[in-house]
Amino acid sequence: MKSIAVLLTVFNRKDKTIQCLGQLYSQLPIDNYAVDIYLTDDGCTDGTPEAVKAEFPQVNIIHAKGDLFWNRGMFTAWEKAANTKDYDYYLWLNDDTFVVDNMMVTLIEAAEVTDNKAIIVGATEATDHSRLTYGGRLHDASIPLPDGKLTEVEFFNGNIVFIPRVPYHVLGNLDYYFTHSKGDFDYGMRAKKAGVQMFQAGKVLGVCDAHTSLDKWCNPDVPFIKRWRMLHRPNGMPPKETFHLENRHFGYFVACKHFLSIYIRCLFPQFWIKRIK
């Protein structure tokens, strides 16, 4: 029997977390596969871990203090899982992503087609089915339209990501340097450099709405002081983490250019918006 570890990190989205886990458990059991779930409770104050324990007592809950955010929370869940067992597969799953009924089987079949040597990514769409929101990314950062076949991608969002044992042993865990975002992009770019292929599954595997407005750190309607604070928050656009990502993958000069452009965008958001138009 093969084994799968599902990894989540959660913070104060109790209803969504319960719905996400419910949809996941509705697909279990899967013949010849044992599935364990590892969930990092990043200091929830809305009763999320208590609700999870009551509804799904088999979930392994790791408690944290609220300073991990997404990337470090996922790192923590993954570390716990990997130290427990050398799983055949690891599945990243965002708790605000509502998966389709055959998501697990689709991922397993896609991994088997690639001899369990490639990372498989699931695309998500908006609730109204109007557009793709997250998934694999091509050279121009666009999400390929699922057409029934596996599509090779360059990097990916971390909403639905299926990582077999072989790629995990090559790449290891997420980079703990990143706090909230960028860890998923970094992982895909590291995979590319290491020669690990990444494919997006041939069908949409979940629903997850994207942000519909500008981030507060670059929104001209937000006062400057608040923009500045939001810029440096882990879930904003922390310049040092952006520099770390781009220096690693695109070189020092590109990293310096974008490091400065982030500050310009925060300081003069109206100018930036006019410039890109």
Which tens digits make up the pLDDT trace of 14-48? 999 999 999 999 999 999 999 999 999 999 999 99
Question: Which tens digit of pLDDT belongs to each residue from 154-194?
Answer: 999 999 999 999 999 999 999 999 999 999 999 999 999 99
Q: Quote the pLDDT of residue 143.
A: 98
Q: Quote the pLDDT of residue 271.
A: 79
**What is residue 155's three-state secondary structure?**
strand
Q: Quote the pLDDT of residue 182.
A: 95
Q: Quote the pLDDT of residue 211.
A: 77
Ramachandran angles phi, psi of 32, nearest 5°: 70, 15
What are the start-end ranges of the H helices in the chain?
14-25, 48-55, 69-84, 103-113, 165-171, 183-194, 224-232, 239-250, 252-267, 269-276
Q: Quote the pLDDT of residue 275.
A: 64
Weakest mean pLDDT among 206-220, 221-235, 255-269: 206-220
Half-sphere exposure of 74 (CA within 13 A, CB side): 29
Give yes or no for a contact between 158 and 70, defined as CB atoms under 8 angstroms apart: yes
Question: Which tens digit of pLDDT belongs to each residue from 118-152?
Answer: 999 999 999 999 999 999 999 999 999 999 999 99
Burial of 159 (0-12, 13-18, 19+ CB in 10 A): buried
**Per-residue pLDDT at 277 exceeds 60:** no
Ramachandran angles phi, psi of 20, nearest 5°: -60, -50
**Per-residue pLDDT at 276 exceeds 90:** no
Name the token pair of 135: 């998934």
Question: Which tens digit of pLDDT belongs to each residue from 100-123?
Answer: 999 999 999 999 999 999 999 999
**Per-residue pLDDT at 213 exceeds 80:** no
d(CA 157, CA 183): 9
Complete domains list, the chain, with CATH: 2-207 (3.90.550.60), 216-276 (no CATH)
The answer to whether the pTM exceeds 0.85 is: yes
d(CA 58, CA 55): 9
**What is residue 115's three-state secondary structure?**
coil
Question: Could you tell me whether strands 119-125 and 198-207 are parallel, antiparallel, or unpaired per DSSP bridges?
Answer: parallel
What residue type is 96 in one-letter code?
Answer: D
Q: Quote the pLDDT of residue 270.
A: 87
pLDDT, mean of residues 256-262: 95
**Per-residue pLDDT at 214 exceeds 90:** no
Name the token pair of 63: 């408690």
**Per-residue pLDDT at 272 exceeds 80:** no
Residues 6+ apart with CB under 8 A from 202: 110, 146, 147, 148, 149, 150, 151
**Per-residue pLDDT at 262 exceeds 60:** yes
The Cβ of residue 37 has, within 10 Å, a number of other Cβ atoms equal to 23
Question: Which tens digit of pLDDT belongs to each residue from 218-253?
Answer: 999 999 999 999 999 999 999 999 999 999 999 999
94 - beta bridge partners? none
For all residues of the chain together, what is the average pLDDT? Answer: 96
Burial of 209 (0-12, 13-18, 19+ CB in 10 A): middle
**What is residue 260's three-state secondary structure?**
helix
